[in-house]
Structure 1
Amino acid sequence: MADTGSTGGPRDPASFINPFTQVPIEITISVGKARPLVKDLLRLRPDAVLQLDRRVDDPVELFVGDKLIARGVLQELDGDQEGQLAVRLTEVADLRNGL
């Protein structure tokens, strides 16, 4: 059965808005990984320093689930949002064929 608009004619596919584009998703930003021994993990206390496998100026990775979707650099916002952490994207995966 053909999809018709209010005029009774076929609906223009370009005007169709996929309802899933309005669903929020969660993006995880990975700044690095640590691999401490269990004994060192059990000794962690406030003010302890856990060394990561990356440097401050290394790019961060953005994931949806386990799918890498982009890379970027951390930055701090200015103005009314001063102190808010953000990511400036430097690479974005081609997501037209899905995640």
Structure 2
Amino acid sequence: MDSPENPLGQIPLEIMISVGTARPLVREMLTLSQGAVLPLDRRIEDPVELYIGKRLIARGELQELDGDQAGQLAVRLTEVADMKTSL
């Protein structure tokens, strides 16, 4: 006999993807304009981190989708946290 679906499974989660951090000086921020480039502390091939709230839940690689979703970013998971411990 199948069990009824858990209603908690219908609640959407917001996952934040961290691709890097920038540490400009305030004076540099005050001079930024449209088209400015803000360098991050990571390279394009470095893993990204996935968070729910402040909890790290996984790591992965950025990818660009093909076909009907061409140009859309996605993350291929390479490491998933054991929800009982941290990564």
TM-score (norm 1): 0.79
Larger radius of gyration: 1
Pairwise CA RMSD of aligned residues?
2.1
Q: Structure 2: any 5+ residue segments left out of the alignment?
A: none
In structure 2, what is the Cα distance between the partners aligned to 1:52 and 1:81? Answer: 26
In structure 2, what is the Cα distance between the partners aligned to 1:18 and 1:33? Answer: 37
In structure 1, what is the Cα distance between the partners aligned to 2:38 and 2:77? Answer: 26
Deviating above 4 A after TM superposition, structure 1's stretches of 4 or more consecutive aligned residues are none
TM-score (norm 2): 0.89
Higher relative contact order (CA 8 A, sep 6+): 2
Aligned partner (choices 67, 70, 74) of residue 79 of structure 1: 67
Number of equivalent positions: 86
Aligned partner (choices 46, 61, 64) of residue 58 of structure 1: 46
Q: Structure 1: any 5+ residue segments left out of the alignment?
A: 1-11
